[in-house]
Every structure is written in C-alpha cells, then in structure tokens.
C-alpha cells in the first residue's frame, strides 16, 4: 500500500473538488492529513487510523442512501469495489500519508540491471532499457548518421548541420569519437546559446514592448543577449537562477548581474490613460510570483492568490509571504519603465556605469540620513496656518493642525497658505494620506512639485526665502526631492511622509509679517490624473542643528561626490534597461494578505517567507536573494527535476512529466520517476548544474540515438513515445523554421554578439496598435536575415509566421508550446515573401552545384534534409522541375515574376517545394 500510488489518485478523482483546499465541504479536506483525522462539522471523524469501521469516510463511500453516499450521485459515480478495498486497507494499516511525489526531495537512484548489456551508452540508458525490458519491448536500431546529425544539430543549435559534418561522420575511423566531437563542436558554437535562449525567453515572457493598449517599445534586448551569453558560457543553473531573480541584490553586483535581474522586468506596464499604477504594479508583482513558480517549481502557485491551493497543501498566506519578496522594488508601472540601469555601449565601461549608479544611490542616502534621523525626534511647533488661498478647491484646517483639501484639485493647482510670522531655521511638511488606516494604503500619489516660501511684510513687500537642503523621512519612486519641490510620494502615497526643508539662513521675522507657503502640484499620472496634496501639516523649528547639518563640510563633500558621479555617469552613453531595484529600506512596502485575492481588501501584514511544505522549517527568509538561493540549495525537491525535465522535453518533444508547467497533483505523473530523479540529481550534483554537460550526456545516449522510424505496431502501442523504444521526431519550432530557411539558402547573417531587435519582412498593416505611431520599418542589409531570436517581439501583435507555428505571444510565462499542424502553417512556408526570398537564394545555391540536374537536386535534398535522395524522389523532383520549366518557357512573363529566367523560376519553385517537405519541417 502506497499513498501516492494507491490512495491519492482516488481522492483526486472523486473527492477533492469538494473536499480540497478551496472548498472544504462539511469541514472535510483531503489535502492535509491532520484535517482528515480531526472531527468534521458533523463531529464525525473522517479517518481513524487503524479503524476502518469507525472512519466516517468508509461509511459514506459504502452508504446505500443516495443522500448519504459519497460522492453524491449527481457529482459522480460511486467508488468501485476495488477503490473501496484500497481505502479500507489503507486505513487499517494506519492511514500513512505521503506528500505528493514532486514535493519530496528526490532520492539517489541506482541504475537498474538490464539484460542487453551492450545497448546502454550512458547510465540513463539503463533506466530506459529496464523499462523496455519490463514492457517486453526492444529499443529501435541506432539512427544512421544523417538522421542523428540533423536531430542533434537542431536540438543543440537550432540550425541544420554544416555540410561538412556529415562527411566527417561518414569517414570517421572512430564513429564514437566523431559523434562526441560533433556534439562538442555544436555545444561550443554561439548558435547553441541562441537556440536555448529561445526556450528560456518563453519562460521569461521576453518582449520588446511593454504590453497592453499602446504596447510601446521597451529596450530590454540586452537581457535577451545576457541569456544567450549565459547559455553559451554554460553558466551553472544555480548561478543562472540567482542572477536572474536577485542579481541586483548580490554584493557589489556587476553590470551583467544587474542586467540578469531584468528577467522580472519583462512584466507588462500599462500606459493606458486613466489606469491605476498600483493595480498594474500589483499585477506585475503577481506575474513575478506566478512566473517564478511556473519556471522553477512547475507549481500552480497562482491558485493560492485567492484561496488555499485546491489540491496541493499551500495555505493562502503562503502566497503573500512570497509576494513580500517582490513587493519591495522601486518599479511602479511607470510609462518610462523606471527604474532602469545604464547598459553602456562600450563593454569596457559597463561595470563603471553600474558602480556609479549604485554609488549615486548610496550618496543620496548618505546625504539624507543625518536629517532623516532627526525628522521625528526634533521638537517642532505647528506653523499656525490661519490663511488659506488655494487656486482650486477649498482648504479646511482641523483641530489637530492638519489641513485638508476639498473639491476638484486639477493638475497644477496650488495651495497657498499663510501663518503669523515666527523665527525658524527649518520647516517640516507632512504629506498625509486621507485615511489613517494602513489597510487603505497606498492612496493616489501626493506630490508638491514646487515649494515656495516668502515673508510678507506689513507694507506688502515680499521676500522669498531660499532653502538649501531637504531631508526626507523616506525616499522612493522616480521623483527625487529637492529644496524647491518633489515633496511627497509619487505615483502612490504609501502612508504619511515628512520632509524637512532647511532655510539657507535662519529666518528672523518681523512681528507683523506673515509667512506665505505656496505649494504647486504640477504632477499627474498617466491620463492626467492629478497627484494632489489632499492633506498636510506644516511645522517649524528654530533648532540650529538643521542649519549646521545643511552647511556641514561632510554634506558638501558628499554633494560634490554626487555631482561628480552624476557627471561621470552621463558621460557614458548606453541603453537604459529596466531592472530590479529595491526601494530604500525606510520605504519598503508592507505586504498584506489580500482577502480572496482582491488587492483592495487587505488583511494582516506578512513577512517574506516560503511555504513550510517545501522548506521544512518556519519558512522565514530574509529577501529575494535568500529565496533565490533556496531554489538552488540542492535540497529543493523541484528545481533540478523541473529543469532536467524541461531539457529532456526539448529533445524528446515531451517531458518525462508531460506537463512541464505543473508537477503538482493536477499535473501529470512522470512516465518514469526513477529516470527523472536520476537526471535531476545528476544535473545538480555530478554536473554541478551544467546544462551543457547534461545535454551532452543525453544526445550521446543510446536512447536518443535510436532511429525515429517506427513500425506501425510500435506507434500504435506507444503513440507519444513515452516508453522511448524509438528516437524522437519533432516538428521544427517557429524559430527553427525561419532559421533553417535562412541557413539552407545561405542568407543567414549570424550576429553572435546580439543587438537591438530587427524587422524582417512582415506584411503591411499587421502593426496597428491604437494611439501608437510605432511602425514596422523592414530591416535592410544583414539585419533582414538574422536568426528568428532577434526578430522584434510585440506583445499585442506578434510576428505572424511565429504565431502560426505555435510561438507564444509572451504575455505570460509559457512553459510548453503545444505543437499544432495547420493549413495556415502551409501558407507561411509556401507563400510568405520571406520564404520565397529564401527559395530564390536556395535555388541559386542548387544551380551553382556542379553536375546535371539530378545531382543539383540531390544536393538540394541533402541541404534541406541531410538525406541522400532516393532515385524515386529525384524522379519526382525532376518531373516537377520539367513541368514548371515547360510552363515558364511558354509564359516567360510569369517566370519573370519569380526569377530572371524560366530555368531559374522552375528551380525556385522546386526549391520552395523542397523547403516544404515533411522531412525539412521536422528534425
């Protein structure tokens, strides 16, 4: 009796949709063992270990009364006698519980014994073979060189093999060594990183636009190139993980490490007028949570946003504890994607730019710190405002000294207030939320963009009072406070915040004068929504400490360094890339649980943490960096399995767990858990997270080397090839379809160093985003012929050829492309002008090949499929060519539209046909 194998499937099939994590009908949940052993609402105990007769569960599944039996007849059929017997045996034997397989750390797997000792070439083969022997199946013969070479070239580099590789393989004295050498060459080519980046960018939901309505451009392509470099450098997966999730939090991060954190800035930004920046900030944070869980843990954590997980034991709070890891960053759905890093054009200056950017932040904090510490400590007296002259709305004073603004407060409105004169050295502006209840925060932003103070003498003369320094209780967001303004919080007010403005010189006021404060609120969020000052107070202090602080030599030195650092940074030209950046510690947001997932209905505060289910302990983790380290600490039950499965699925077309995106109870079970665990531990331990090493081992295995040619009986027995009694045969991915066309035709213009996205030909009128002047200006020169990876990705209007071949829109993290086979795909490869341009170039290569037509065609077949064309195939192609030639000779005007001469045109049509062969479109 094994819970996961025998019992849990019964619960999942019959029970958990009502007695699960979301719905606990009658107070019964079959997701947590302790809940099963406690009395339910009826006071009856569902399961009493060792006592099936006393267990309510057994009574109910056996009941004859339709009102009592479980499941109720209208919900589903009764349990089979076999299922009931299993439950009984399970309870009788003590109702032992197991966590779902994927949440239990994998155990080391010894490779099983097999009878055919000669077949395995790698340890993994013994797992596969043992299974086949159990199933009384024999492996398929080894694929010939051409078949294996085509497969391994596309799988590792996304491109067809070079012409010379096949000859090398055929002529090799030691075929084993030759295969290994080919694999090593493929792993070392820059094309390797480009192919695997294509996979990773689906998970990263990489796009060159921000998404939503206007879907404007975003410069984040340096991150795409980072991924390519990381794969090419075989960056270990643990580092790959940490740098993307928390590269910005590493000590003294390099420019590359900060750039890696752009992984989570591929979230969408909503620039539509009138949208709430907090709503879409939270949407981005939510997306980061769900993406992290899907990409690294293959867990449908998104369920937990609204309620406890329906099938897996994650309580509701777990979601928000995890949210706290991501809630502290500066980004807040700004149109300009603030905050960004400067990615220097000159590679040699990148680290310097990063050092300066981080130093500038440190200096800002250092300049602010001495004053910030005193803001609430010093003694202040109320300014005593008794004069109100707002340009709009109405100002009303309260007994507690605060002032409230009422009415319509448009962008640019100015609150002018005045008070009887008093001496002061500093004024303190308190920017206050309308509500005092933290659960209502954040509110709409509140920002004084221009701060002016004057002394109005009795005779009407006015003297402006200059201020030399500002100290903020907390600094946040894109607007830096200065003595002349930017006081408050933008775009959202996360609670009260005070600013001290230090007068240049101590103000001594004549007794009959008045102090006039003018506060303009010129800022707005997208859609001209004013971020007005809705509630505030002003205090004064005459303590000399303020003047001393503001005029101290330390401050002057820091200010000088800040100026220099800014100057130095501005002298480094570069691309501005959105990256992760934590808010200053004083401004960290408080994360609260959202009732039923609704951000507008907040509950208690939670601290950052991970699910206890997976961590064992209390799950307390300090920050995003600690969380990222936990993912790859070697004890996490999911990380290595999920990645090993992903790599496997890229090679075999289907994962050992078919649902790459879901290893939980609602996903599919592994077809061979021992094999998966073996690969996972090998990846994590022996290969020390090296992706290249694991891939090398797999593509050189006997399993992978089998031919994909299969007798009918085998295909019928195992249509999805889960047993691996034959080699994989997969359709080319969207990227490979384009890249192969470019490679075969000789048009491909490699760009291993990467660069901004390019615009290969696309039909007119595909891009038509509303309120957007963005145009598809077709690239000329080499940029017209880059690999698919470099094609501009626009979320709301994807590249048509890629979408048709199952490329995702990159709206959200996609862990698996479901391969389709449709007539629209045929139209792309037959008619897309880019593919016709490819066919023309391909025809030229064919024409240039020496020999008669048959040898030319044979060469074409070899380029497109790596196969030696059978005579019948050449007959067919030659006949097509002859018929086309006859037509074009009769109608030279028709030919001219395709190529220079009827001969050329006939060959272009033949080349176009070759590029549409099933063998050309598969690997």
Partner 1 sequence: MRPEYEYARLQHLTRRHFLSKCSTGLGAMWLAMQGRSWGSAGALVKDPASPLAPAPPLIAPRAKRIIYLHMAGAPSQHELFDYKPELAKLNGKECPQEFLEGKQFAFIQGVPKMLGPQFSFSQHGRSGAWVSDRLPEFSKVVDDVCFIKSMHTDQFNHGPAQLLVHTGSQNLGAPSIGAWATYGLGSENQNLPGFIVLTSGGRNPDGGKSLWGSGYLPSVYQGVQCRSEGEPVLYLDNPPGVSRDLRRRSLDALDKLNASIAEEVGDPETVTRVSQYEMAYRMQSSATDAFDISKEPEWVHQLYGTQPGKEAFANNCLLARRLAERGTRFIQLFHWGWDSHGAAASEALNKGFTDRCNEVDRAMSGLLIDLKQRGLLEDTLVVWGGEFGRTPMQENRGGEEMAFVGRDHNPGGFTIWLAGGGVKPGFSFGETDPIGYEAVKDKVSVHDLHATMLHLLGFDHEKLVFPSQGANQRLTNITKPGTKVVKGILA
**Are residues 411 and 391 in contact, defined by beta-carbon separation less than 8 angstroms?**
no
Mention every residue, 6+ apart, whose C-beta is less than 8 A from residue 425.
502, 503, 506, 507, 541, 542, 543, 544, 546, 547
Query: Rounded distance, CA 102 to CA 614, Å?
Result: 10
Of 357-365, 501-509, 656-664, 689-697, the segment contacting partner 1 by CB under 8 A is 656-664
What would the x/- binding string for partner 1 be over residues 181 to 220, using CB under 8 A?
Answer: ------------------------------xxx-x-----
Could you tell me which residues come within 8 angstroms of residue 121 by beta carbon, excluding any fewer than 6 positions away? Answer: 700, 701, 702, 705
159: tokens are 């491109």
Which position among 26, 27, 49, 76 is part of the footprint of partner 1 (CB under 8 A)?
A: 76
Establish if 292 lies at the interface with partner 1 (CB under 8 A).
no
Which helix (H) or strand (E) element contains residue 463? strand 462-464
Interface residue with partner 1 among 180, 360, 812, 862 (CB under 8 A) is 812
Q: Where are the alpha helices (DSSP H) in 80-233?
A: 81-92, 123-134, 145-157, 163-171, 175-188, 190-203, 221-232
Tell me the closest approach of the beta carbon of residue 151 to partner 1, in angstroms: 13
Q: Does residue 897 bind partner 1 (CB under 8 A)?
A: yes
Q: Under the criterion CB under 8 A, does residue 922 sit at the interface with partner 1?
A: yes
The nearest distance, CB 471 to partner 1, in angstroms, is: 31
- Rounded Cα distance, 496 and 489, in Å: 9
Q: Which is nearer to partner 1, 190 or 393 (CB)?
A: 393
Residue among 17 and 518 whose Cβ is closer to partner 1? 17
The three-state secondary structure class of 791 is strand
320-339 binders of partner 1 (CB under 8 A)? none
Site for partner 1, residues 394 to 423, rule: CB under 8 A: 407-413
Q: Interaction with partner 1 in 525-554: which residues (CB under 8 A)?
A: 527-530
Give me the phi and psi of 835, to 5 degrees please.
Answer: -75, -30
Q: Which stretch binds partner 1 (CB under 8 A): 80-88, 355-363, 785-793, 809-817?
A: 809-817
Cβ–Cβ contacts within 10 Å for residue 690, how many? 15
Question: Which of 595/870 has CB closer to partner 1?
Answer: 870
Pick from 222, 310, 371, 488: which binds partner 1 (CB under 8 A)?
A: 310
Would you say 585 or 823 has its CB closer to partner 1?
A: 823
Q: Which residues contact 512 (CB under 8 A, 6 or more apart)?
A: 421, 457, 458
Choosing from 84, 800, 847, 862, the residue that interacts with partner 1 (CB under 8 A) is 800
Q: In terms of CB distance, is 586 or 880 closer to partner 1? A: 880
CA distance 175 to 165: 12
Is 913 an interacting residue with respect to partner 1 (CB under 8 A)?
yes
Q: Which of 830, 849, 854, 901 binds partner 1 (CB under 8 A)?
A: 830
CB contact set of 619 (below 8 Å; sequence gap of 6+): 318, 321, 609, 610, 611, 612
Q: Please give the angle made by the CA atoms of 153, 156 and 162, to the nearest 5 degrees.
A: 30
Residue 281 is classified by DSSP as: H
Which residues are CB-contacts of 747 (< 8 A; sequence separation ≥ 6)? 741, 785, 837, 838, 841
Least distance (Å) between residue 423 CB and partner 1: 37
> Which C-beta is closer to partner 1: that of 248 or that of 672?
672
Subset of 663-722 contacting partner 1 (CB under 8 A) = 664, 666-668, 708-712, 715-716, 719-720, 722
Which of 361, 392, 566, 599 is close enough to bind partner 1 by CB under 8 A? 392
Q: What angle do CA 597, 603, 604 make, to 5 degrees?
A: 125
Q: What residues numbered 859-888 form the site for partner 1, per CB under 8 A?
A: 870, 872-873, 876-877, 879-880, 883-884, 887
Residues 6+ apart with CB under 8 A from 219: 575, 576, 577, 756
Considering the complex, state which of residue 411 and residue 422 has its C-beta at the smaller distance from partner 1: 411
Please count the residues of this chain forming the interface with partner 1, following the rule CB under 8 A. 125
The verdict on 775 binding partner 1 (CB under 8 A) reads: no
Q: Which of 108, 95, 139 is nearest to 709 (CA)?
A: 139
Task: Give the shortest CB-668-to-partner 1 separation in angstroms.
Answer: 4
- Residue 694 or 846: the one with the smaller Cβ distance to partner 1 is 846
- How many other CB atoms sit within 10 Å of the CB of residue 410? 13
Query: How far is residue 124's CA from residue 681's CA, in Å, rounded to a whole number?
Result: 12
Q: Does residue 469 belong to the site contacting partner 1 (CB under 8 A)?
A: no
Residue 468 phi, psi (nearest 5):
-105, -20
283 lines the binding site for partner 1 (CB under 8 A):
yes
Residue 145 interacting with partner 1 (CB under 8 A): no
Asked if 139 is part of the footprint of partner 1 (rule: CB under 8 A), the reply reads no
| Shortest separation between residue 320's beta carbon and partner 1, angstroms | 16
User: Cis peptide leading into 605, omega within 30 of 0?
Assistant: no
DSSP letter at 78? P
Using omega within 30 degrees of 0 as the cis cutoff, is the peptide bond preceding 427 cis? no
Residue 229's Cβ-side half-sphere holds a number of Cα atoms within 13 Å equal to 13
Residue 541 or 797 having the CB closest to partner 1: 797
Point out which span in 102-110, 160-168, 537-545, 800-808 binds partner 1 (CB under 8 A): 800-808
Nearest-approach distance from CB 300 to partner 1, in angstroms: 3
Which CB, 79 or 220, lies closer to partner 1? 79
Does the protein bind partner 1 through residue 67 (CB under 8 A)? no
Among 339, 488, 798, 838, binds partner 1 (CB under 8 A): 798
Residue closer to partner 1 (CB basis): 16 or 354: 16
Residue 461, burial from CB neighbour count under 10 angstroms (0-12, 13-18, 19+): exposed
Site string for partner 1, 589-618 (x = CB under 8 A): --------x---------------------
Residues near 794 by beta carbon (within 8 Å), at least 6 away in sequence: 207, 208, 209, 215, 767, 769, 774
CA distance 533 to 393: 11
| The only residue of 77, 553, 585, 781 in contact with partner 1, by rule CB under 8 A | 77
Q: How far is the CB of 877 from partner 1 (least distance, A)?
A: 7
- Over the window 720 to 759, marking each residue x when it contacts partner 1 by CB under 8 A and - when it does not, the resulting string is x-x------x-x----------------------------
- CA 571 centroid distance within chain: 32
Question: Per CB under 8 A, does 491 bind partner 1?
Answer: no
Candidate list 769, 778, 889, 901; residue touching partner 1; CB under 8 A: 769
The reply on whether position 442 binds partner 1 by CB under 8 A is: no
* Binding test (CB under 8 A) with partner 1, winner from 469, 905, 907, 923: 905
Alpha helices (runs of H) in 606-690, residue ranges in sequence order: 612-615, 624-631, 639-652, 673-681
Query: Rounded to 10 degrees, what is the CA torsion of 589, 591, 592, 595?
Result: 110
Q: CA separation (Å) from 401 to 316, 407, 536?
A: 42, 20, 9
Contacts of 891 (CB under 8 A, 6+ apart): none
Using the rule CB under 8 A, is 646 a contact of partner 1? no
- Residues 2-41: x/- map of binding to partner 1 (CB under 8 A)? -----------xxxxxx-----------------------
- In whole angstroms, the minimum distance from the beta carbon of 58 to partner 1 comes to 19
The reply to whether 822 sits near partner 1 by the rule CB under 8 A is yes
| Cβ at position 111, least distance to partner 1 in Å | 27
H/E stretch holding 355 reads helix 350-374
Cβ-in-10-Å burial (0-12, 13-18, 19+) of 136 comes to: exposed
Closer to partner 1 by Cβ: residue 376 or 408:
408
- Select from 763, 782, 851, 868 the one that contacts partner 1 (CB under 8 A): 763
- The answer to whether residue 524 forms part of the interface with partner 1 (CB under 8 A) is yes
């Amino acid at each position: 009796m094994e819970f996961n194998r025998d019992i849990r499937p019964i619960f999942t099939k019959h029970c958990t949709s009502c007695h699960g994590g979301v719905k606990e009908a009658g107070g019964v949940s079959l997701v947590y063992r302790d809940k099963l052993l406690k009395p339910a609402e009826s006071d009856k105990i569902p399961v009493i270990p060792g006592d099936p007769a006393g267990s309510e569960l057994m009574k109910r599944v056996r009941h004859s009364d339709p009102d009592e039996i479980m499941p109720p007849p209208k919900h589903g059929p009764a349990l089979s006698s076999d299922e009931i017997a299993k439950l009984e045996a399970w309870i009788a034997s003590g109702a032992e519980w197991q966590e779902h397989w994927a949440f239990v750390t994998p155990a080391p797997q010894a490779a099983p014994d097999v009878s055919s000792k000669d077949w395995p070439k790698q340890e993994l083969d013994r797992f596969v073979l043992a299974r086949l022997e159990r199933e009384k199946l024999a492996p398929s013969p080894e694929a010939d060189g051409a078949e294996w070479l085509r497969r391994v070239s596309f799988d590792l580099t996304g491109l067809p093999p070079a012409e010379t590789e096949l000859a090398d393989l055929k002529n090799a004295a030691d075929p084993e060594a030759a295969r290994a050498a080919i694999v090593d060459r493929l792993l070392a080519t820059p094309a390797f990183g480009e192919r695997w980046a294509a996979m990773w960018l689906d998970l990263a939901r990489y796009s060159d636009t921000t998404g939503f309505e206007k879907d404007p451009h975003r410069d984040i392509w340096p991150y795409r190139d980072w991924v390519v470099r990381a794969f090419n450098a075989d960056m270990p997966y643990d580092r790959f993980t940490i740098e993307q999730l928390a590269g910005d939090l590493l000590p003294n991060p390099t420019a590359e490490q900060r750039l890696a954190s752009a992984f989570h800035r591929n979230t969408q930004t909503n620039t539509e007028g009138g949208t709430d920046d907090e709503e879409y900030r939270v949407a981005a944070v939510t997306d980061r949570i769900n993406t992290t869980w899907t990409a690294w843990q293959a867990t449908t954590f998104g369920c937990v946003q609204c309620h406890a997980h329906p099938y897996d034991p994650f309580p509701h709070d777990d979601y928000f504890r995890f949210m706290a890891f991501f809630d502290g960053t500066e980004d807040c759905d700004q149109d300009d994607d603030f905050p960004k890093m400067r990615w220097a054009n000159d590679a040699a200056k990148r680290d310097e730019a990063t050092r300066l950017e981080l130093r500038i932040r440190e200096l800002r904090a250092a300049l602010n710190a001495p004053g910030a510490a005193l803001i609430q400590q010093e003694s202040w007296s109320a300014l005593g405002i008794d004069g109100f002259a707002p340009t709009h709305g109405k100002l009303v004073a309260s007994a507690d000294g605060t002032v409230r603004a009422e009415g319509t407060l448009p962008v640019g409105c100015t609150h002018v207030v005045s008070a009887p004169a008093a001496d002061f050295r500093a004024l303190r502006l308190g920017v206050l939320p309308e509500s005092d209840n933290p659960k209502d925060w954040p509110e709409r932003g509140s920002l004084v963009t221009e701060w002016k103070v004057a002394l109005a003498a009795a005779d009407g003369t006015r003297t402006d009072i200059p201020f030399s320094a500002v100290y903020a209780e907390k600094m946040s967001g894109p607007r830096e406070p200065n003595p002349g303004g930017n006081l408050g919080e933008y775009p959202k007010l996360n609670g009260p915040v005070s600013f001290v403005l230090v007068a240049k010189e101590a103000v001594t006021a004549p007794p009959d004068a008045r102090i006039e404060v003018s506060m303009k609120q010129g800022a707005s969020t997208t859609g001209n929504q004013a971020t007005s000052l809705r509630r505030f107070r002003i205090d004064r202090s005459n303590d000399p400490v303020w003047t001393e602080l503001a005029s101290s030599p330390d401050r002057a030195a820091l200010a000088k360094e800040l100026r220099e650092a800014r100057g130095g940074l501005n002298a480094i030209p570069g691309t501005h890339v959105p990256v992760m950046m934590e808010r200053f510690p004083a401004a960290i947001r408080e994360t609260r649980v959202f009732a039923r997932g609704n951000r507008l209905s907040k509950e208690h505060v939670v601290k950052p943490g991970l699910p206890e289910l997976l961590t064992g302990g209390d799950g307390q983790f300090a920050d995003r960096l600690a969380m990222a380290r936990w993912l790859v600490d070697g004890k996490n039950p999911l990380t290595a399995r999920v990645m090993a499965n992903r790599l496997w699925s890229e090679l075999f077309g289907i994962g050992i767990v078919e649902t790459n995106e879901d290893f939980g109870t609602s996903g599919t079970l592994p077809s061979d858990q021992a094999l998966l665990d073996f690969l996972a531990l090998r990846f994590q331990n022996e290969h020390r997270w090296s992706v290249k090493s694991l891939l090398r081992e797999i593509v050189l295995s006997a399993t992978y080397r089998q031919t994909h040619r299969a007798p009918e009986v085998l295909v019928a027995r195992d249509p999805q090839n889960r047993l691996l009694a034959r080699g994989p045969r997969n359709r080319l991915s969207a990227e490979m379809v384009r890249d192969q066309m470019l490679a075969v035709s000789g048009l491909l213009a490699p760009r291993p160093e990467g660069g901004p996205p390019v615009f290969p030909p696309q039909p007119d009128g595909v891009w038509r985003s509303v309120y957007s002047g963005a145009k598809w200006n077709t690239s000329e020169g080499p940029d017209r012929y880059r690999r698919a990876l470099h094609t501009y990705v626009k979320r709301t209007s994807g590249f048509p050829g890629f979408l048709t071949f199952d490329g995702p829109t990159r709206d959200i993290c996609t862990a698996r492309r479901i391969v389709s086979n449709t007539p629209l795909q045929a139209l792309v490869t037959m008619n897309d002008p880019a593919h016709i341009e490819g066919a023309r170039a391909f025809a030229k290569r064919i024409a240039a090949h020496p020999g008669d037509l048959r040898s030319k065609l044979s060469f074409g077949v070899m380029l497109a499929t790596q196969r030696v064309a059978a005579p019948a195939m050449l007959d067919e192609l030659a006949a097509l060519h002859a018929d086309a030639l006859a037509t074009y000779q009769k109608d030279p005007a028709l030919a001219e539209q395709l190529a220079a001469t009827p001969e050329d045109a006939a060959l272009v049509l033949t080349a176009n046909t070759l590029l549409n062969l099933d063998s050309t479109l598969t690997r």
